[in-house]
Chains A and B, each alone.
Chain A
C-alpha cells in the first residue's frame, strides 16, 4: 500500500511523517520546509508513505509545489493522507476539496486541535467526516496522539471513494458532461477546462467552449473565481456543523508580534538576536575551543608518537598518523562544541516562528535590492550550511529574486567557515575576536546587498512583483526536535571529518612529505605541494601581500570543504615545525609566522567569500538548472573575494606605512 502525505505548508506534515516512520526529517516553523518528496515506511506496517512539499492548492505557484501537483496527478498511489492545520481550517479544507476531486481515497488528519482548543475553538470530527464522506481523525503530531487511529483508518481504505458534490448544480452538471470525454483525472481536468486555466492546459475539448460560455453568462465573473468562491462557500456554509467557537480574542502570537513587529523595536530586536547568536557561538565558546586545539592535539599526538616509537614503527608511518591524520582531523573536530551552540541557535530560530517575521519586516528593504523578504530564510539557514540554504530558495516565487538569492547565499559565512574565523580572530585579535568576527558578518551583509544591486542593474533586470507568505503562530521549540536536529548536523560534520577531511589530510601530508622523486623526509620546501604552491603563490600574492605557497594551497583546498583550510594549515605547520613554542600553526618562525593581523583579515576575507565548497556549488547547479549560470556565479564570487582581499592588503599596508 502506498500513501502520500499532503497538506498546507507549515501544517505539521513532516512532524507527522517523522512520527509515522520514526525517521528524523527536518521540521521548522515557516512555510516551505519540505522542498522535495521523501519516502518512508509506517512503523510496524508495510505501508509506504511519501512526504510531499506543502501546497495551498493544486495550482502550483512555486517549483516545489509543482512536485506535489505532478505527483498527485501522474503517479500511482492508494491513499491521500491529508493533514489539516485546525487553526486555519477554512483554507486547509479548500485544499481538501481539491484533493477530493482526484477520486482517490482520502483520510483527513486534523492536526493542532490542542492549539485550537487553547484559543477556544473546537472541531467536531464526526460531523466533518459526514460532510466530506471520508474518515477524519484528530491527531497531535507533536505529542504523538491519535496516531494509531490514523494508521487504522488508512489500513481500512478500499478503492470505493466517489466525489461529493461541492459546486452548484449547473457547474456539477457541466463537470459530468465534460468528464465523458476525458481519459484520466476526470473531475480535476473537467474543472481545469471550466476554469479556463491556460497555465495548466490549452483545452481542445469539443464541448468546452459552449459550456464555458453558458456558465459565464450565468455568473458574469471569470470561472476561476467562481470555482474558488464556491469551494470556500461549501466550507463556510457548513462550518457551524463542524466548528464551534467559545470566544474570539487576540491570540498570544498577536500579543508577541506587538513587540517583535513594533515599528521602532523590530530591527533593533533582530540585530540583537543575531548578534547574540554569533556572540554565543563565536565569541564565548570560540575562544575556549581554540585554546583547546593545540593542547588536545599535542596531547594525543605525543602519546601516539611515543607509543609508535616504542614499538619501532616506520618513521613515515608515525608521521602519517601523527602529523597527517591526527593533526588534520583533530584540527577540525575541535570546533564541535562551537558548532553545537550555533546549530542550537539556528534550530530554535527555525522552530519558534521568528523566521517568517524577519522575512515580513525586511521585505521592503530587500525588495529595493532585488531580493525578496523570503531571501532572509536561505541566508539564516545558510549560516549553518549553504547547501540547505540554497535549497530553501525554492519557496521564493519570483524567478529573479530566487536566482539572486541562490547566488548570494554562499557569501554568508557557514558553520564550516567558523573554524577559520575562530582560528584567525582569536590568535590575532585576542579579546576583540568577537568584534572582528562580527565585522566579517557585517561585511558579508554589505557584499550581499551591493552584489544584489549590481545583479539587479546588469543581470536580473525588471521589477519584482509577488510576495505571499503566511505568518505562522509562535511555538515553543520542542526539545526533542531541536536536539535531534542539532545531533544530526553535528554528526554530519563529524562524518565529514572522518571521510573527506581524513582523506584530504593524508593527501596533504603525502604531498608535503614527499618530493617529486618520491623521496620521503625532504624539507617541506622541496615537497610536491610546495613546488605546486610556489607557482600558485604568485597570483595569490596581492591577497596576503606575501609569497606563501602554504597559505595559497590551504585556501585552494577550501574548495573540498571550508574547514579543510584549517586542517591543511595544521598539517603543513606541523610538518614544517622546528621550534615548539606557543601556538602550533602561527609559531613565530613557522611557515605561517608571516601573518599579521592585516594579512590574516584579508586572508579570511578571501577564504570566506570566494567560491564555496564543492557541495554548495553542486546545490547551486541543481537550483539554477544551468552549468553556465553556476560557473558565472562562482567566478563572480571568487573574483569579488580576490579584489576585496587585495584591496584590504594594499590599502591597509599603505596606511601602515604612514603610521
Chain B
C-alpha cells in the first residue's frame, strides 16, 4: 500500500520510495522520508488534498500525487 491509502491517525512504516523525479526524491530523503521511518497521517486539508503527515517528531505537508509514490506497511 502507499501512504495515501492510510486512514487518519493510522501508523505505518515506510517500505519503499518510488519517486522518479530526482530533485523531489532528494528532498524527501533530506526531510527524513527514508525506508523504516514511522509515519502517520495527522491532518487532511479541507478539500482532501494535500495531506499533513507526522514523522520524526515534526509535521510535513505533501500532495497526494507525491505521497502515492511512497510505499508503506501498517504497524
A39 to B10, CA, bound (A): 46
A246 to B35, CA, bound (A): 28
Residues of B within 8 A of A (CB): 17, 21-32, 34-37, 42-43, 45-50, 52, 56-63, 65-66
Q: Which residues of A contact B22 (CB under 8 A)?
A: 198-199
Q: Which residues of B contact A229 (CB under 8 A)?
A: 29, 34-36
- B46 touching A225 by the CB < 8 A rule? no
- A360 touching B50 by the CB < 8 A rule? yes
Q: Which residues of A contact B60 (CB under 8 A)?
A: 468-471
25 residue pairs A–B, Cβ–Cβ below 8 Å? A59-B26, A59-B27, A88-B56, A90-B57, A199-B23, A225-B35, A228-B30, A228-B34, A229-B34, A232-B32, A254-B42, A261-B45, A266-B46, A360-B61, A363-B50, A363-B63, A364-B49, A365-B47, A465-B21, A465-B24, A465-B65, A466-B23, A468-B61, A470-B60, A471-B52
Q: Which residues of B contact A267 (CB under 8 A)?
A: 46
Q: Which residue of A lies closest to B29 (CB)?
A: A228
- A56 CB-CB contact with B under 8 Å: yes
A467 to B22, CA, bound (A): 14
Q: Which residue of B lies closest to A95 (CB)?
A: B30
- B43 touching A257 by the CB < 8 A rule? yes
Q: Which residues of B contact A469 (CB under 8 A)?
A: 60-61
A571 to chain B, nearest CB (A): 49
Q: Which residues of A contact B63 (CB under 8 A)?
A: 363, 367, 466-467
A193 to chain B, nearest CB (A): 15
> Would you give the 0/1 interface string for A205-228, flagging 1 where the beta carbon is closer than 8 Å to chain B?
000000000000000010011001
- A363 touching B32 by the CB < 8 A rule? no
Q: A228-B34, A232-B32 are in contact. Are A61 and B23 (CB under 8 A)?
A: yes
- A624 CB-CB contact with B under 8 Å: no
B71 to chain A, nearest CB (A): 13
A257 to B23, CA, bound (A): 30
Q: Which residues of A contact B66 (CB under 8 A)?
A: 465-468
Q: Which of B24, B29, B42, B57 contacts A88 (CB 8 A)?
A: B57
A361 to B60, CA, bound (A): 13
> Would you give the 0/1 interface string for A463-481, flagging 1 where the beta carbon is closer than 8 Å to chain B?
0011111110000000000
A198 to B36, CA, bound (A): 25
A264 to B44, CA, bound (A): 12
Q: Which residue of A lies closest to B26 (CB)?
A: A59
Q: Which residue of B lies closest to A86 (CB)?
A: B57
Residues of chain A from 355 to 379 with CB closer than 8 A to chain B in the complex: 356, 360-361, 363-365, 367, 373
Q: A91-B58, A361-B47, A466-B27 are in contact. List 9 more A-B contacts (CB 8 A).
A: A56-B30, A91-B56, A261-B46, A360-B52, A363-B63, A364-B45, A465-B24, A467-B61, A470-B59
Q: Which residues of A contact B49 (CB under 8 A)?
A: 363-364
- A199 touching B65 by the CB < 8 A rule? no
Q: Which of A199, A254, A364, A465 contacts B48 (CB 8 A)?
A: A364
Q: Which residue of A lies closest to B47 (CB)?
A: A364
- B45 touching A360 by the CB < 8 A rule? yes
A232 to B34, CA, bound (A): 9
A288 to B56, CA, bound (A): 52
- B58 touching A88 by the CB < 8 A rule? yes
Q: A91-B32, A94-B32, A465-B21 are in contact. Are A224 and B57 (CB under 8 A)?
A: no
- A361 touching B45 by the CB < 8 A rule? yes
Q: Which residues of B contact A303 (CB under 8 A)?
A: none
A364 to B24, CA, bound (A): 19
Q: Which residue of A lies closest to B37 (CB)?
A: A232
- A89 touching B32 by the CB < 8 A rule? no
Q: Which of B27, B56, B65 contacts A468 (CB 8 A)?
A: B27
- A87 CB-CB contact with B under 8 Å: yes
- B31 touching A56 by the CB < 8 A rule? yes
- A263 CB-CB contact with B under 8 Å: yes
Residues of chain A from 436 to 492 with CB closer than 8 A to chain B in the complex: 465-471
A56 to B60, CA, bound (A): 12
Q: Which residues of B contact A360 (CB under 8 A)?
A: 43, 45, 50, 52, 61
B54 to chain A, nearest CB (A): 9
A491 to chain B, nearest CB (A): 36
Q: Which residues of B contact A61 (CB under 8 A)?
A: 23, 26-27
User: For B22, B23, B60, B61, which residue has the most chain A Cβ atoms within 10 angstroms?
Assistant: B61
A630 to chain B, nearest CB (A): 26
A264 to B46, CA, bound (A): 7
A468 to B52, CA, bound (A): 10
- A225 touching B27 by the CB < 8 A rule? no
Q: A87-B58, A232-B56 are in contact. Are A224 and B47 (CB under 8 A)?
A: no
B15 to chain A, nearest CB (A): 12
Q: Which residue of B lies closest to A363 (CB)?
A: B50
Q: Which of A87, A90, A263, A466 contacts B32 (CB 8 A)?
A: A90
A63 to B58, CA, bound (A): 24
Q: Which of B21, B29, B52, B56 contacts A224 (CB 8 A)?
A: B29
A351 to B52, CA, bound (A): 21
A254 to B45, CA, bound (A): 13
- B62 touching A467 by the CB < 8 A rule? yes
- A470 touching B47 by the CB < 8 A rule? no
B36 to chain A, nearest CB (A): 7
A61 to B22, CA, bound (A): 11
Q: Which residue of A lies closest to B61 (CB)?
A: A469
Shortest 7 CB-CB contacts between residues of A and residues of B? A88-B58, A57-B30, A228-B29, A266-B46, A90-B56, A364-B47, A229-B34
